Amino acid sequence: MTPVKAWVSAARIRTLPLSVSGIIVGSSMAYNSGFFRWDICILALLATLGFQILSNFANDYGDGVKGTDNHERIGPARAMQSGLLTAKQLKNGMVFTASVTLLISIALIYTAFGSERFLESVLFFVLGLLAILAAVKYTVGKSAYGYMGLGDLFVFIFFGLVAVAGSYYLYAAQLDAVVFLPALTVGFLSIAVLNLNNMRDRLSDARAKKNTLAVFLGPKKSKFYHYFLIVGALVASLLFFHFTNTYLWSVIACVVFIPLGKHLAYVAQNESPALLDPELKKVALATFFFSVLFTLGFLF
């Protein structure tokens, strides 16, 4: 495999649509409110992709050096695990990606707030630093929060609240409480992807002392937790459309919950963790298509 293909493999392209879903939803609401700007949108998408790629590099490195990625792992082989990239190469890739992403974030903050809104600029700069720290510390280091069952919380914060409400604020420089309902939807669906991943790897993670929430909960409670996430996402969406008549056409986005209902039935009957792997792609794509249909509802 060529070096370029090795880095593309480590970047895990299939995770990128999920990462931008929150930005798309926040941007669409800004568009409907008359605040949308293409320069902010493009920079926000680039920054989010940078954070996600950094997280993927860090996860590959962190799980690799800890021995969590071994022959027992069910999902796609990681770059370090497969010998495509060394630990040193991944560390260098993390430093480079973090640096570029931070520069993009600074450009985004200046584009959104200029030199007039100093407090907002400082707040979002700190959020950018925290996002970089969260991307790295998920699996890297002795205090990696992904090994303490806290991954779900951080996914909810950054993929849901920060991505949707934060991106909306970049456009509007103000917040509307109703923005948090679609933020809940995207956040819950993003956690559902992580939970599926952790349910799939629960046994090997437990042996490697990677104590994800699925390890703490066990197989039965992890399924009930998964039901709560999908149903909670649907309820948040329905509440959003109930309280906002101006967003009526975007109710078309709720069609993604039809295949997700079939997905829940599959999870309920599943007895083999390995067979959950294809379901990750289904939920991730459902989240992405939710954001796309949500946006199309505003356009048409």
pLDDT confidence bin for 112, thresholds 50/70/90: very high
- Locate 263 and state its tokens: 């997905």
Higher-confidence residue of 74 and 200: namely 200
274 pLDDT exceeds 70? yes
Higher-confidence residue of 161 and 241: namely 161
Range of lowest pLDDT (147-156, 268-277, 278-287, 291-300): 291-300
Higher-confidence residue of 76 and 204: namely 204
Q: Are 259 and 211 in contact (CB under 8 A)?
A: no
In percent, the amount of the chain with pLDDT more than 90 equals 64
pLDDT confidence bin for 31, thresholds 50/70/90: very high
Kindly report, residue by residue over 147-168, the tens digit of the pLDDT. 888 999 999 999 999 999 999 9
